[in-house]
Structure 1
Amino acid sequence: MTGMRRFEGSRVIVTGAARGIGARIAERFVHEGARVVILDWNAEAGRAHAERIGATFIQVDLSDNDATKRAVRAAIEELSGVDVLINNAGMLRFASVLETDPDEWDAMFAVNTRAMLVTTQVAAAAMIAAGQGGAVVNLASMAAKTGGEGQVAYAASKAAVVALTRVAALELGEHGIRVNAMCPGYVLTEMGADTRTPEKVALWSSYSPLGRLGTTDDVAGLALFLASCDGEYFTGQAVNVTGGMVMH
């Protein structure tokens, strides 16, 4: 990454960037010259990470529609506009089809999918008003394409992210706004960490032709590519970051 400044002066909002994949995405954008606002519910971790990388932090509960709108508007005001929106925030809870509580289903969709609609509405409106286009990158999951035992609500919410991405790409393209999704496979972050054993990590690694799990940099690298001029003819795509575990 030495010397790369693809985003010099760009204004970037990243949700769910206090930890994990989002934190690395935010850090990579700052490294490449962007001004970044982090939106997250975790105030302690979010503020600490923002201070560490030179970003701005705004606390928000993304399951609250009105709070989400206010937070995105505040971020846009802080940045004097927005060029890139990275919808990274998400939650993962495990339950089978027969055991899933509908309220848990709703909670998962509220953060994983509905919040992306709300943030996109606010950010895209600002991009359209500015007349300079922009990029939206949504974090979906390998589960959107393959499902996942015990992940019915999560997989369904991430499949909905892919559908939302495609429709947004169709509708916003005329304004020069590109919308894409990323579908990571197994990435070792805090999310779901309590489900991992050395045996499971070894098993999951064996699913990839590359023989390893993903890293936050694997996902962050794709996010920056999709948001950059290098990816300016990509829109409506759901790009796998799975080390070959999924090839469609």
Structure 2
Amino acid sequence: MSQRVIVTGGSGGIGAAIVERFLADGARVAVLDRREPTAAASVFVAVDLRDPLDTRRAVGEAIAMLGGADVLVNCAGIFQHIPLLDITVDDWDRVLDINARATLVAMQAVAPVMLEARGGSIVNIASMAAKLGGGGEAHYAASKAAVVALTRAGAQEWGCHGVTVNAVCPGYVLTDMGADTRSEADIAAWSAKSPLGRLGVPEDVAGVTHFLASPAGAYLTGQAINVTGGMLMH
């Protein structure tokens, strides 16, 4: 039986690559996003992830359309580059609402189905910033650190029901997110931080995400795996 996969933020960037990777493996994929996906998807559900009620509604619709859920990938996220002293309460709320609270709500919405089925995989897309970041992106780093904490809590509470919960922490990946704040000099400097001499591409993250949700990754849970080209090692 093909996997039934829900991907938040699956309409572009890393999310679209994740969707394509699961589709290539024969999965049925529901994309939850504000805009329709650029790539083909089995199901599309429009959602405002800043609205917890709408998020629960969208996850429920996706589960109904797929006839269940074997995998949830929380990939939706936003980025802002703002000095710590200039972060407003509105800035903080917007980033934390989408990056962290929506992850919590989606996990809560899908977990009962997985717990009843006694199996499932949740993969939360965090960031290298959760472990290393902060300067100029304090609220973003805080939101991604929260995602890692939610991952550990889910793994500890739901593992006895056969549900794994892991996080992926990408480093610098060239997508539209953050494009307005980077220069060619930035790209060269960031590339030099990797022993591999390059930045990541969305497919790098998609491959690890797919692995974590596959039988090959079944004994991994509560992990926050760096996909950083060696920029962060531990």
TM-score, scaled to structure 1: 0.92
- For residue 151 of structure 1, report the CA deviation from its aligned partner: 0.2
Match of 1:243 in 2: 229
Q: 1:84-123 residue pairs with structure 2 within 5 A?
A: 84-123=71-110
Corresponding position of 1:37 = 30
1:82, 1:56 → 2: CA distance?
13
Amino acid in structure 2 at the alignment position of 1:57: F
Q: Count residues with an aligned counterpart.
A: 234
**Partner residue of 2:194?**
208
Q: Which residue of the partner structure matches residue 11 of structure 1?
A: 4
Aligned to 2:218: 232
- Segments of 5+ residues of structure 2 without an aligned counterpart are none
Partner SS, residue 148 of structure 1: coil
TM-fit CA distance, 1:34: 0.2
Amino acid paired to 2:69: V
Q: Please say if 1:81 is aligned against 2:68.
A: yes
- On the 8 A contact 2:172/2:200 being kept in 1, the answer is yes
Q: Secondary structure at the match of 1:82?
A: coil
Q: CA RMSD in A?
A: 1.0
Aligned-pair identity in percent equals 56
The corresponding residue for 2:18 is: 25
Unaligned runs of 5+ in 1: 1-7
How far apart in 1 are the matches of 2:106 and 2:55? 7
What do residues 48-101 of structure 1 show as CA deviations (whole Å, max 9, x unaligned)? x3xx42421110000100000000000000000000000000010121111100
Separation in 2, partners of 1:42, 1:64: 16
Deviation per CA, 1:115-161, whole angstroms, max 9, x where unpaired? 11111111111111223x00000010000000132100000000011
Q: Which runs of 4+ in 1 moved over 6 A?
A: none
Match 1:173 to one of 139, 148, 159:
159
Cα distance in 1 for residues equivalent to 2:113 and 2:193? 42
CA deviation map 1:177-216 (0-9, x unaligned): 0000000000000100112211111110000000000011
* Alpha-carbon separation, structure 1, partners of 2:59 and 2:44: 11
